[in-house]
Structure 1
Amino acid sequence: MTGPVRIITGIVAVVLIAAVVAAFAIVWRPALAAVDPPAPQSFDAALVKKGRDLAAIGNCSDCHTARGGRNFSGGVPVQTPFGTIFSTNITPDAETGIGQWSEAAFQRAMRSGVNRQGRHLYPTFPYDHFTNVSDEDDRALYAFLMTRKPVRAPARENELSFPFNQRFAIAGWKLLFLRHDTYRPDPKQSAEWNRGAYLVEGLAHCGACHTPRNALGAERASAQFAGGDVDNWHAYAINDQSRSPVPWTADALFAYLRHGFHPDHGTARGPMAEVADNLSSVPPSDVRAIAVYMAGLSGARAADRKKRGEEASVRSEKAAQTNAAGASIYAAACASCHEGGRPLPFGGVNLGLSTAISSPDPRNLVNIVLSGVRAVEGERSPIMPGFAASMNDEQVSALLNYLRARFSDQPAWTGLEKTIADARRTQSAGLQTSSDPGPGKTSIDPAQRGKP
C-alpha cells in the first residue's frame, strides 16, 4: 500500500470510528439502579394529593388504563402512522411496573424519555411537553403513582415495522425535535396566565392533540394549536384559526373544561370528554388558569367568528332546496330536539353554533351522529341517541351535507362517505369513539380518583 493510500485509509478509519463513537454517545443511556418499592406511608399525604391533581391534569389514567384493565396498568393501543404503540404499566409493581424506579429514574423518563433500564421511550409518551414540568411537580407525581395499588401487567409488544421498531431511531428523533426548558414565564402577563401557560405547555400537553404533526411524528412548531388528529377524532384548532362560530372566552373555556359542556360550544366527546372528566376533579383555579391562557390564543378573529355564528343561527331553509333527503331526515330525527325549545338535557344545542358542523374535518360530527351523546351523571348536559343502527351510510351522508349547508357558511366536505365508512369500521373494531369507558374498562369516579 502506497503512502497516500495509507493516509486516506487512515483518515477514513478515523472518521468511521468517530462516527461510531458519536452515534453511541447519542444513543446509549445507562441503566439506573433498581430500588425497593417505597412504602406508601413514606410519602406525605399532601404531596400525594397534589400528585393526584397533577395526574388528572396530565390525563394519565386514560392513557395508561386499557379497556378491561386495572387503573394505570397500561396496555392502551396508540395508533400512529408508523404502527401501534402500547402504553406501559405505571403502577408500583416491582416486576412489570415502576416499583423499582427511583425518583431520579422517574424524572429522567419525564424529562428525557428514557426508562430506568436506559431504553429510549417512544414520544407517544409526551415527554417533549413534560420537559417543562418542575422538579417539585415531578416529585408529587412520583409520590402519587408510588401509592397506587401494584398491578402485575407485563408490557405488550409494540406493532411497528422496521426501522421504527428499533429504539436507536428514537435517539435521532430526539436530536431533531426534543428541546429542554422551553417554557419561560412571561413577566408582562399575570400570575394566573403564567400558571395556565405552564400547565398547557407542560403537563396538560394540549398541543399533543391540538397541533398537526410532520412526517416524522413531531409537532409542527409553526402551526401550534392549529388542530390535530387523535383516535379517529379531530382535535379542533384552538388558536386564531378556530372555526368555532362563537369565539371562546375564558368563561366558556372554563365551563367546557370543567364540566364538558357549554351551550355555545356543545359537549366534549371522544378523548376530550376524558380530559374534561379528569379536570372536573382538580382545583378550579388550575382550570381557570388554563382557560385564561388559551382564551388569549384564540381571540384574534373573534369579531368575525361571532358575526358568522349570529348569521348561522338564523339561517333559512335554502339548503332544503338542494338536499331534500337530508332535510327530511333532519326534520324527522333532529328538529324536535334542536328546534323544540326544550331545556337541557332533552333539548338539543343550537346547531348554528356547532364547531363540529363548521369544522373542515367531518369526523367528529360523524362520530356524534353514529354514537350519540350519553348522559353525564350529575350534569345537565345534552343527551342524544346514536343513529348507527337506524341510518345507513347514504342517509348519514345526506343528513351531514344538509347540516353543513344550512348551519355553516363553509364549503361542502369532500370524502364524507369514506369518513362515515371508516367511523363504522372503527366502532366495529371496538376502538373508542365515544366518551364511555367501554366494556370492562374501569371508570374512575372523580370523587375517588387518586385516593390512597
Structure 2
Amino acid sequence: MKRLFNLLVAVFVVGAALYFFLNRSDKSEGEAPVLAGAPANAALLVRGEYLTKAADCIACHTVPGGKGQPFAGGLPFVLPFGTIYSSNITADPETGIGKWSDDDFVRALHDGVRADGKRLYPAFPYTSYTALSRNDVLAIKAYLFSLPKVSQPNREADLGFPFNQRWAMGLWNAAFFKSSRFEADASKPPAWNQGKYLATALGHCAECHTPRNFAFAMDADNNLAGESIQGWRAYNITSDAKHGIGAWSDAEVASYLTTGHAAGRGSASGPMGEAVEHSLQYLKPEDASALVSYLRTVPAKAGKNPIEIDAKAPWAVAASAAAPATSTAEGHEQGLRLFAAACASCHQWNGQGQQSANASLLGTRGVNDPDGANVTQMILQGVKMRVRDQEVYMPAFGKAYTDTEVAALANYVIAQFGNKQGAAVTPEFVAKQRTR
C-alpha cells in the first residue's frame, strides 16, 4: 500500500512538473491576419460581431429549436465519458460572464481557465482559440457584452470519476496543449494566412474534423482527416483527391461552405449545417476564398473508414425520376416502400432532387458511407436551416418510424444512391443514434 501511495505521489509530482514546464503560455501577441470582414479600422462592435459569427459561438452556446436564449448555454455535448453542457456567455453578472474582466475573458480563450480559476474542458475549443489575437478576443467580448443579458444558471457537467476532477485538466494540458498565438508564415501569400487563421483559430475546423486520440486530444498527424461527433460524421476535408476535397473545384468548396450545398458533392446538415447557418454564410467572399486557399494545402490523408464515392450508382442512373429501377427492390423491399411513401417526391427515384438543389443525393458522401451515420441522422432529425434568406427544410421522421423502419430506409438509400450493397445499418445502431 505504501509503495502504491508513493507511486501515485510520484506520478502527481511529475505530472505537475510537466504541466508547469510544457504548459507555459506564449505571451507574445503575434499579429492576426487582417480579415476582409473585420478590418482593424472597423468599429469595435462591427468587428466583434463578424468575429463572433466566424467563431460560431452561438451554435454551441444556444439550445436550438427556440428552446434556449441566444448565448445562454445549456446545450449538451454527449462524450464517451459523460455529458458536458455549454455555459452562459451573456453579460448577466450572476449566471453569465458579466463580472469577467478583459483579462478573465482572454485567459479563458487563450488558456482554458475560467474567471474563478477552474479549468475548462476542451469541449470548449480553447485549444484552437488560443491562436486568436488579444484584440480579436476583446472585440468578441465587447460584442457579447452589447447583447441582452440572460439569467440562466449553468448546468454542471455529468461526468464520472476521474473525469469530473477539473484540476486534472492541468495535466491534460501539459501533455496535449500549448498556449500560443497565431504566427503568419511569411513564405505564404496574405490570403493563405487569412485562411489558416479562419480555419485553425476562429473557425476551429479541426475540433470536429480531426480524429481524437485515447485522451480526446486532436491527432495532429491526421489533421482534418475526418471524425465522428455527436452521432454525425464530420468528413475528411484534407486535399486527398479520393477521400477528401482534393477533387472539388474552388467554387464547389466555397459554395458548400457558404451556402451549404455544392452540386454533385453534397448538402450540409447536422453540426455542419449549423456552422453554415450561424457562421460560414456570413463570411465575406474574400475571406471565404482565403479559407479555400488554405484548405487546398492541408496534407492529403485517407482518414479512418474512408469513403469511396460512386457518383453514377447504376440503380439510380437506371431509374427515372418517377419510378425506381426494378432491380433495387431485392433485399430492400421495406426500404423501397418507405422511400416511395415519404422520400421520392422530393429526392426523386434517380436522386436528382426537385424543388431544391439540396435534395439531390447522387455523389454525396452520406449515401456512399456504408456505416450510414449521417443518413440515419438525417432521417431521424431532418433539416431546418435558413441560408441567405432561403429555408432549407426536410421533415424529421424519428417519431414516425421505428428503429427497424429507419434502418431499412437507410440501407435502401445507401444501396440505391451509393451502390453500397454492404450497408448494414441495424435497429440497434439507430437506437444509439437517437440518443446522440
Q: Same fold (TM over 0.5)?
A: yes
How much does 1:298 deviate? 8.0
Which residue matches 1:309? 311
Q: Secondary structure of 2:212's match?
A: coil
Query: Which of 54, 60, 64 pairs up with 1:63?
Result: 60
1:268 is the counterpart of 2:268: yes
1:185 is the counterpart of 2:194: no
Q: Secondary structure of 1:364's match?
A: helix
How much does 1:383 deviate? 3.8
How much does 1:150 deviate? 2.5
Q: Secondary structure of 2:118's match?
A: coil
Q: 1:88 to 1:70 in 2, by over 3 A?
A: same
Which residue matches 2:335? 326
- Which whole-Å CA distance do the structure 2 matches of 1:280 and 1:104 have between them? 31
Which residue matches 1:46? 43
How much does 1:242 deviate? 6.6
1:416 is the counterpart of 2:426: yes
Mapped contact 1:393–1:417 kept (Cα < 8 A) = yes
- Which whole-Å CA distance do the structure 2 matches of 1:110 and 1:420 have between them? 36
- Which whole-Å CA distance do the structure 1 matches of 2:226 and 2:301 have between them? 16
Superposition pairs of residues 239-250 of structure 1, within 5 angstroms: 239=238, 240=240, 243=243, 247-250=247-250
- Which whole-Å CA distance do the structure 1 matches of 2:354 and 2:361 have between them? 14
CA displacement 1:237-262 (0-9 Å, x = unmatched) = 21228757994332122222222223
Which residue matches 2:366? 356
Mapped contact 1:245–1:354 kept (Cα < 8 A) = no
Aligned residues: 398
How much does 1:366 deviate? 0.9
- Which whole-Å CA distance do the structure 1 matches of 2:22 and 2:114 have between them? 13
Q: 1:24 to 1:53 in 2, by over 3 A?
A: closer
1:394 is the counterpart of 2:404: yes
Superposition pairs of residues 290-301 of structure 1, within 5 angstroms: 290-297=291-298
The root-mean-square deviation of aligned C-alpha atoms, in Å, is: 3.7
Mapped contact 1:234–1:361 kept (Cα < 8 A) = no
- Which whole-Å CA distance do the structure 2 matches of 1:159 and 1:16 have between them? 26
Larger deviation, residues 232-241 vs 341-350: 341-350
Q: 1:245 to 1:335 in 2, by over 3 A?
A: farther
Which residue matches 1:448? none
Percent identity of paired positions between Structure 1 and Structure 2: 34
- Which whole-Å CA distance do the structure 1 matches of 2:44 and 2:125 have between them? 23
Mapped contact 1:183–1:201 kept (Cα < 8 A) = no
Rg larger in structure: 1
Mapped contact 2:84–2:158 kept (Cα < 8 A) = yes
In structure 2, the gaps of 5 or more residues are 1-6, 25-40, 320-324
Q: 1:325 to 1:206 in 2, by over 3 A?
A: same
- Which whole-Å CA distance do the structure 2 matches of 1:178 and 1:197 have between them? 19
Letter of the 1:162 counterpart: F
Mapped contact 1:309–1:353 kept (Cα < 8 A) = yes
How much does 1:170 deviate? 0.2
1:407 is the counterpart of 2:406: no
Query: Which of 363, 368, 378 pairs up with 1:368?
Result: 378
Superposition pairs of residues 35-434 of structure 1, within 5 angstroms: 46-66=43-63, 68-181=67-180, 183-239=182-238, 240=240, 243=243, 247-278=247-278, 279-297=280-298, 308-310=310-312, 314=317, 317=325, 318-339=327-348, 344-346=354-356, 349-374=359-384, 376=386, 383-410=393-420, 412-425=422-435
Mapped contact 2:23–2:174 kept (Cα < 8 A) = no
Mapped contact 1:238–1:298 kept (Cα < 8 A) = no
CA displacement 1:406-447 (0-9 Å, x = unmatched) = 322446234532222223455xxxxxxxxxxxxxxxxxxxxx
In structure 1, the gaps of 5 or more residues are 1-11, 30-43, 427-452
TM-score computed with the length of structure 2 as normaliser: 0.79
Letter of the 2:184 counterpart: P
Mapped contact 2:261–2:268 kept (Cα < 8 A) = yes
Letter of the 2:407 counterpart: S
Mapped contact 2:76–2:86 kept (Cα < 8 A) = yes
- Which whole-Å CA distance do the structure 1 matches of 2:394 and 2:14 have between them? 60
- Which whole-Å CA distance do the structure 2 matches of 1:99 and 1:266 have between them? 41
Mapped contact 1:109–1:116 kept (Cα < 8 A) = yes
How much does 1:200 deviate? 0.6
Q: Secondary structure of 2:78's match?
A: strand
How much does 1:115 deviate? 1.6
Q: Secondary structure of 1:352's match?
A: coil
Q: 1:186 to 1:424 in 2, by over 3 A?
A: same
Larger deviation, residues 201-210 vs 292-301: 292-301
Q: Secondary structure of 1:251's match?
A: helix
